[in-house]
A = this chain, B = another copy of it.
Amino acid sequence: MHIGKYEFNEFMEVVRSFHGSPAPGIIIGGIMVDMARDALPPETIFDAVVETPKCLPDAVQLLTPCTVGNGWLKIVNLGRYALTLYDKYTGEGIRVFIDPRKLANWDEIQGWILKLKPKKDQDFDRLISQIKTAGREFLTARPIQVNLEQLTRKRMSDINVCPICNEPYPSDDGAACRGCHGDSPYVVEGGDLT
């Protein structure tokens, strides 16, 4: 079984190297990417949506040209283990999700996605083995029309220098940057090191 251009075990290593561990969610994500891609017309120039920030973004980033930093991968947190690849010009795409109706034969995958047992009681090798055997059998793909306006990254406004922190920021954010408007996750900022 292949995932993208990789042989299954080779992809496990690619995942380990990028993600820090060969997370089952990314292996499943890789199978989902392939399934969506195969159902799109060849040569489609696509963007991607993942419906959870957990694991799935890394599968898309490893197997497609879409990354968070280039904006072609969009994370819309709906809490579902699903992804969509869609034509970036028309919004027509394919959504793939884990289908509970198809999990009866795959108890370890079912236990993983429905969190039926604590992580420490999961049998990792059995889970990976079931994923490898099942392939796409527990997944469903559907054609979908994406709302392009909702997903298109806004063109960035002019840049100002914030009068409070003296850093560049988009003028659309107002008279000061968002960090100085109270959205910052920092408690204390020290003096310049250099």
Contacts and interface: CB of A to CB of B under 8 A. Distances in A.
Interface of A: 18-21, 23, 26, 35, 39, 49, 51, 53-59, 61, 65, 67-72, 74-82, 84, 91, 94-95, 97-101, 113-115, 136, 139-147, 150-151, 156, 158-159, 161-162, 165-170, 173, 177-179, 183-194
Contacts of A61: 18, 61, 67-69
A51 B97 CA distance: 31
A86 to B, nearest CB: 9
Given A67-B18, A156-B115, A186 B80 contact: no
Given A145-B187, A193-B143, A55 B69 contact: yes
Contacts of A169: 78-80
A122 B54 CA distance: 37
Nearest to A91: B187
22 contacts: A19-B69, A19-B70, A35-B194, A54-B71, A56-B69, A58-B69, A58-B70, A74-B185, A78-B184, A79-B170, A80-B177, A80-B179, A81-B167, A81-B168, A82-B167, A100-B161, A114-B161, A140-B194, A142-B193, A144-B186, A145-B188, A147-B187
A98 B168 contact: yes
Contacts of A190: 142-144
B159 A113 contact: yes
B167 A100 contact: yes
Contacts of A20: 65, 67, 70, 72
